[in-house]
A = this chain, B = another copy of it.
Amino acid sequence: MSEYRTYLDLNGNPIVNTNKIKILETAIDLFSRKGYSGVSIREITREVGIKESSLYNHFASKEELLGVIFLNFRRAIGEILLPPEMLRGALKQMIAEQFLQQGVINFKAHIDDPINARIWRIVTIEQYRDPLARSILVEDIIQRTLSFLESAFALMIEQGAVKPHPPKLLAAEYQYPLFGMITEYNLQKYLDQDTSAIEQSMADHIEFFLSHVRTA
């Protein structure tokens, strides 16, 4: 259990009760391995060391438990990308290469947190069953990243750092390979396998991409 992470409840208040945090993190672990429907309240509470009925003192239902997990994941995702209003300033201080590499560093910091990695897997598993999981995947992850990058590439073109391709195309060409590789990275971490090959692929991709689009 991660000792110092803070979770918020559905009202936006920090969760302080130790057992409530234990329930959350146990559920995150089990859901990420077996899926929401594959895990029972009994199994969660057995692992936490409390009775089933005690769980309902903290969460109104199994579904609310998942809702709280997703709420907190949305917060964590929000921290991966720079706020759009800081984009122009950041690009003045960094060359394109640095900017994109910093993006990968930010992302790695996010996904190398075991809790985040687990919830990322829950989102993948539940995307067809649960509209909330789906909206996190589509809106908070895919669309938000692509539109952020579209703005970034538009600015890089404006600065003359990148050849004048349509920014949307550049965003797609840059990011879609990373989405695919992240999926594989996350699966390999789950299996405790070596991730150096796929990490190298990510670095190779950025280099390949930049070698074809940068003006220098």
Contacts and interface: CB of A to CB of B under 8 A. Distances in A.
Interface of A: 32-38, 121, 124-129, 134, 137-138, 142, 165, 169, 172-173, 175-177, 179-181, 183-184, 187, 190, 201, 204-205, 208, 212
A181 B176 CA distance: 7
Contacts of A172: 177, 201, 204-205
A177 B184 contact: no
* Chain A binding surface SS class: helix
Contacts of A142: 184
Nearest to A170: B208
B33 A128 contact: yes
Given A34-B129, A128-B190, A187-B134, A176 B177 contact: yes
A14 B181 CA distance: 37
Contact of A204 (B169, B175, B183): B169
Nearest to A208: B173
The 6 closest A-B pairs by CB, nearest first: A37-B38, A176-B177, A176-B180, A179-B180, A37-B37, A180-B180
Contacts of A129: 33-35, 38, 125
A5 B9 CA distance: 49
A33 B126 CA distance: 9
A183 B179 CA distance: 10
